[in-house]
Amino acid sequence: MDTTPVVTPRPPGPSQPGRSLHRFANPGRFLRISGVALPWVAIIGAVLTAIGFGAGLFLAPADWQQGDAVRMMYVHVPSAWLASGGYFGLAVCSLLSLVWRHPLADLAAAEISTVGAGFTALCLASGSIWGKPMWGAWWVWDARLTSVLVLFFLYLGHVALVRAFDDPTRGYRAGAILALIGVVNLPIIKFSVDWWNTLHQPASIGLTGAPTMHIDMFWPLAVAGFGYIFIFAAIVLTRTRSAVMERRIRGLLSARAERQT
């Protein structure tokens, strides 16, 4: 009697997002594609950041109120964009991990939180240095500053939580839940300058309207911002590639140990 299982092809139907996402979850394919893209992402990031910082220092005009102190904006604002944007990326990876069990999302989330914490610390430090000559204080318990400090602690909490369990899967799951809960802080950061009276100035750049700053100040900021985005992506890609390879190494070593026992 023939016991070969009959394989019925899946009938054509609407595409499933989880299925198409898993096409990009193959570690070998990820390593191949990211290996090609990574040098370009890193070079574009370095060049754009150098142009943005150089223009911010030497070409952009001084502010009529702040003088040359406004040049600190070309570091502070891109790092602030990355602090919030990185956390949004962390939340997306957490969602992919919890809902679709995307195997690379856990690794990417762990790497994003480490890098995001550094860029948030940079945002806080550069803001503090900018605040001293402008406000007369290194720190004030202002709504914007406090909510970004909470974001920094959320990043640190995620970093600690994913490493707190013997079983990495449980750590990734707990970290993903924390990351999704922490998303509520992003609109608080964004609108804190509108909802409360703060020392921090309101947004000069929005998604729906023209920027309220002069074009000679805006373009170096935009270039530095895109440069930082590419650098952040390059660092996260490199770290995620390393994490994929390290997982493979652990699997090979444990398989070898099982064969020997």
CB of 39 to another protein, least distance (A): 11
Query: Could you say which residues in the range 211-250 bind another protein, by CB under 8 A?
Result: 228, 231-232, 234-235, 238-239, 241-242, 245-246, 248-249
Q: Is 168 in the site for another protein (CB under 8 A)?
A: no
| Residues 127 and 69 sit within 8 Å (Cβ to Cβ) | no
DSSP-assigned states of every residue in 114-152: HHHHHHHHHHHHHHHHHHHHHHSSS----HHHHHHHHHH
> x/- site string to another protein, residues 40 to 59, per CB under 8 A?
--x------x---x---x--
Say how far apart CA 241 and CA 199 lie, in whole Å.
Answer: 42
The number of residues that bind another protein (CB under 8 A) is 40
| Residues 18 and 97 sit within 8 Å (Cβ to Cβ) | no
End-to-end Cα separation, the chain, in angstroms: 40
- Out of 87, 130, 152, 172, the only residue in the binding site for another protein (CB under 8 A) is 130
Taking alpha carbons only, the member of 83, 107, 105 closest to residue 94 is 105
CB of 24 to another protein, least distance (A): 20
Look up residue 22 and give its two tokens.
Answer: 């898993």
CB of 45 to another protein, least distance (A): 8
Q: Tell me the residue length of the chain.
A: 261
- Out of 92, 95, 98, 125, the only residue in the binding site for another protein (CB under 8 A) is 125
Look up residue 4 and give its two tokens.
Answer: 């070969």
Give the chain's largest Cα–Cα span: 90
CB of 227 to another protein, least distance (A): 9
Backbone dihedral angles phi then psi of residue 141, each to the nearest 5 degrees? -85, 65
- Out of 21, 25, 95, 129, the only residue in the binding site for another protein (CB under 8 A) is 129
**Residue with smaller CB distance to another protein, 152 or 232:** 232
Q: Site residues (CB under 8 A) for another protein?
A: 42, 49, 53, 57, 62, 67-69, 71-72, 75-76, 79, 115, 118-119, 121-122, 125-126, 129-130, 132-133, 228, 231-232, 234-235, 238-239, 241-242, 245-246, 248-249, 252-253, 256
